[in-house]
């Protein structure tokens, strides 16, 4: 596959998660509990990114006061989601830089100890109604729903 085709696939397979899906998934996979007003959808070219301000109760805080922690919740496009080796290499590089004292976004583990989780989202897809290109001229394309697997990673906010 060439670069142009790869780029088109990235755009076509951009995730489209709702805020409620993000909140539910963040709690289920990462243990993050947040309110809708604590989550902001960030602009992104071919992924879907969210800023999450999470109120966690500190175990070591004797007053049992919530600690605010900020995170980047990243849902990768369908193309990158198929290349988990590359994403694991990114995680390793960020963890190494953090260990050496650099101020970088640090990948966070899921509740099960993994460095990423997977979410299946339904997204619209344009298809020809007859499959015949000659007959399709001037006809509208139909929208159908397609299931797409996306890798989700959580990073500390820098």
Tell me the domains of the chain and their CATH numbers: 3-120+148-156 (3.30.200.20)
Please provide residue 68's backbone torsions phi and psi, each rounded to the nearest 5 degrees: -85, 125
Q: What is the pLDDT of residue 56?
A: 56
pTM confidence score: 0.75
Closest CA to 120 of 78, 86, 74, 84: 78
Residue 120 vs residue 65, higher pLDDT: 120
Residue in the structure block whose two tokens are 């899906």: 21
Alpha carbon of residue 55 to chain centroid: 21
The pLDDT of 9-29, averaged and rounded, is 87
**CA-closest candidate to residue 47, choices 152, 155, 123, 154:** 152
Contact 31, 94 (CB under 8 A): no
């Amino acid at each position: 596959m060439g670069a142009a085709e790869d780029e088109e696939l990235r755009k076509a397979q951009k995730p489209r998660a709702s805020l409620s899906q993000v909140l539910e998934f963040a709690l289920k996979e990462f243990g993050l509990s947040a309110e809708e007003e604590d989550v902001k959808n960030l602009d992104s070219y071919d992924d879907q990114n969210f800023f999450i301000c999470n109120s966690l109760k500190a175990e070591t805080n004797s007053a049992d006061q919530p600690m605010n922690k900020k995170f980047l919740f990243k849902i990768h496009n369908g193309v990158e989601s198929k290349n988990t080796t590359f994403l694991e290499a990114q995680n390793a590089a960020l963890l190494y830089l953090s260990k050496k004292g650099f101020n970088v976004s640090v990948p966070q583990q899921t509740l099960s100890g993994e460095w990423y989780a997977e979410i299946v989202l339904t997204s619209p897809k344009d298809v020809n109604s007859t499959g015949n290109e000659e007959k399709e001229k001037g006809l509208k394309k139909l929208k159908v729903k397609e299931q797409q697997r996306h890798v989700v990673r959580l990073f500390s906010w820098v």
